[in-house]
Amino acid sequence: MLSARQENSMRVVYTGEPLPADRESLFTLSIAAIPSGKPEANRVQMAFRSALKLLYRPEGLAGNPQQAYRHLIWSLTPDGATVRNPTPYYVTLFLLRANERAQDNAGVVAPFATRQTDWCRAHGSLHCALCRHTVRCTVRWQSINDYGRVMPAQTVDLTRIH
């Protein structure tokens, strides 16, 4: 607990637990800033909660983490679009559009993982933008790199094979 106008630092330390050596590991640091005391009349109090991604990146991973998003492999399945990340790096999706419809909260694609159309389940099938009932679909995406920069867009045209 901090008093008004007081600062504190936080130190993140590796505890020695074994982590995968062939890929990044993702952790989330949640921080809450809550005003103390009773609110006064005619005063607005705000509380803030931040969730920060902490990545552990082992030495010697192949490839360039800044370019990992370019290697995502998209395909059409009976349920919609699927994305596969063949790299050892987490890819944070900033923008995701399917047939020019934006998909909110695109999230991350884990290393060596395939992500199904869970975007559709989160928002219901009526709001699913990820190529669910289409023969052709154009997927456009951008990611955020290690420095918070939004990377140039990538586009792929998909065709459903019956």
Q: CA-CA distances (angstroms) from residue 105 to 73, 76, 77, 94, 162?
A: 19, 20, 21, 8, 30
CATH assignment, 65-159:
2.60.40.10
What pLDDT, on a 0 to 100 scale, did the predictor assign at position 127? Answer: 47
> Mapping DSSP to helix (H, G, I), strand (E, B) and coil, where does residue 134 land?
coil
> What is the distance between the alpha carbons of residues 97 and 129, in angstroms, rounded to a whole number?
8
pLDDT means over runs of 10, the chain (162 residues):
79 90 95 77 82 93 96 88 95 90 86 79 53 85 94 93 69
Q: What six digits make up the tokens of 116?
A: 């199904």
Domain locations in the chain? 65-159
Cα-based angle 71, 154, 112 (whole degrees, multiple of 5): 25
